[in-house]
Structure 1
Amino acid sequence: MNPVTTEEEHLCEECGKSLFGRSDKRFCNDGCRNAFNRKKRDAQREKETQDMPAVFRIIKNNYEILKRYELYTLEQGEKKFVRRYELEKQGFHFGYCTSANKVNSQDTWLYCFELGYLESGPSTVYLKYEEYKRR
């Protein structure tokens, strides 16, 4: 004869194993808890990215690409030279920026926040870091 149990069996929310111990326990171990929270956080970030207007995603992507060049290490006024195709290959969109600074009749520095780029000819781009200020 099987004993009648009035207690409902609790399962780990991540892996589905039976839980023992406290009645409010949700996970069988720290690994499952961390994996569950990581998936939840990743899903939330993905949703935020999908809800973000396309122009914001493009500017964020441009900024992330420029950050890879470690422009923060440059001295004030120093520039870094890169080929246009290198940026394009990484998905950089030249038409999107957060501000612009016309320095003379021919040159206009475009910025993604504090990271600037100047197209100098069809295949040359100069990059620089400039502390963010009103332009």
Structure 2
Amino acid sequence: MRLYKKCLHCGKELEGRTDKKFCDPQCKSSFQYQKEKERPERFYNKVDNQLKLNRKILKEYNKGGKVTVRAEMLLKLGFDPNFFTHYWKNQKDDVYLFVYEYGFLTRKENGKEKYVLVIWQDYMIKNPKQSKIN
């Protein structure tokens, strides 16, 4: 007695074992891929994808080591300042948020929000105020 009469992916008539669900490995793979695509994205994937995007944007805009850019430019590209890997506080108590080796500091200048972009420096690790989020 056959459990499935047709391939779950393409609908072809099945031959062979009675518990067969797919006509070939490609249909099985395609079926699993479609099924996985329909599931909501897992939290870990959302965080990881946003961190990767943030790093890519910061890297693209920080070619000189220290740059100031309008926040709206980065936000339009999908940058989300709530996703970062660690922070560093300087002696003036400015808190730089970092996405791996690329950091940013939020500033208001002339009523507009801006980001000061920096790259991680060796001296930052020696600062006792530097901390990482676990």
TM-score normalised by the shorter chain: which range applies?
A: 0.5 to 0.7
Give structure 1 regions of 4+ aligned residues with deviation exceeding 6 angstroms. none
SS at match of 1:18: coil
Structure 1 residue matching 2:96: 3-state secondary structure: strand
How many pairs were matched up? 119
Aligned mate of 1:101, from 72, 88, 95: 88
| Contact 2:97/2:103, CA 8 A, preserved across alignment | yes
**Superposed counterparts of 1:1-135, under 5 Å:** 7-8=1-2, 10-44=5-39, 46=40, 48-49=42-43, 60=48, 62-69=50-57, 71=59, 78-79=65-66, 81-95=68-82, 97-105=84-92, 107-121=94-108, 122-130=112-120, 135=131
State the distance in 2 between where 1:81 and 1:40 align: 44
Equivalent pair of 2:70/2:114 in contact (CA under 8 Å): yes
CA contact (8 A) 1:17 1:28 kept: yes
Larger radius of gyration: 1
Q: What TM-score results when the alignment is normalised by the length of structure 1?
A: 0.59
- For 1:21 and 1:70, how far apart are their aligned partners in 2? 55
Which one has a larger percent strand, Structure 1 or Structure 2? 2
Distance 1:70 1:61 in 2: 14
- Using the size of structure 2 for normalisation, the TM-score is 0.59
Contiguous gaps of at least 5 residues in structure 2:
none
| Aligned-pair Cα RMSD in Å | 3.7
* Structure 1 unaligned regions, length at least 5: 1-6
Identity of aligned residues (%): 26
Displacement after TM superposition at 1:23 (Å): 3.1
